[in-house]
Amino acid sequence: MVSPGTGVLYTMAAGLSRGTRASVIAAIGCTLGIVPHMVAAITGLAALLHTSAVAFQGLKYLGVAYLLFIAWRTLREKGALAVEEETVARSATNVIVSAILVNILNPKLTIFFFAFLPQFVSTNDPGALIRMVELSGVFMLITLVVFIGYGSFAAAIRKHVISRPQVLTWLRRAFAGAFVALGARLAFADR
């Protein structure tokens, strides 16, 4: 969660390109993207993803395609790291939907919840469902705080980046490369 993944990269790109408000909105969207994985783990649908090679592979390759799409748009200066002197308004809905997709299309997150949550909840506990929801809520809150931290840092250095075109070009390539690398890592991921 603290080491950069797709959500962190997306949130930082939002902070660099559009400032603090956009990074916070992206962090909220990435955190909301955790909800389907949490629900899948709590309801047992994650077990299907874990045991069904077709379901896992389908979600995995959708995620890979989306990461490659983000990388391509970033390189073309129209995507996650399209930076201009004046902050260009991008609808909060657009930022949130993109951020949610970043996390929804990551099957490893569902597997994480499937493997992680049950370790802290006894099967004999009558309040197991509530306990799993509480643990998921704590995870989401920590994720939100960490992502806002990354995004706020990126927004804080925004002026230094946009005033140096070579730095911006290097960062755009680095972010695109990171999205490609994460897509490649996801493509070769096993259940």
| pLDDT tens track for 117-127 | 777 877 788 88
| pLDDT tens track for 132-178 | 889 889 989 999 999 999 999 999 998 888 788 788 788 878 878 88
Averaged pLDDT for residues 17-37: 91
The two structure tokens encoding residue 130: 């509530």
172: left (phi over 0), alpha (psi -120 to 50) or beta: alpha
Q: How far apart are CA 151 and CA 36, in angstroms?
A: 23
What does pTM read for this prediction?
0.74
For every residue of 157-175, which 3-state class applies, written as one string?
CHHHHHCCHHHHHHHHHHH
> Do 142 and 8 form a contact (C-beta atoms < 8 A)?
no
- Position 1 scores a pLDDT of 43
* Gyration radius from the chain CA atoms: 17
- C-alpha dist (Å) from residue 77 to 56, 57, 146, 173: 32, 30, 26, 10
| pLDDT tens track for 33-85 | 989 888 887 777 766 666 677 777 777 787 788 778 878 877 776 555 555 55
The two structure tokens encoding residue 112: 């994480």
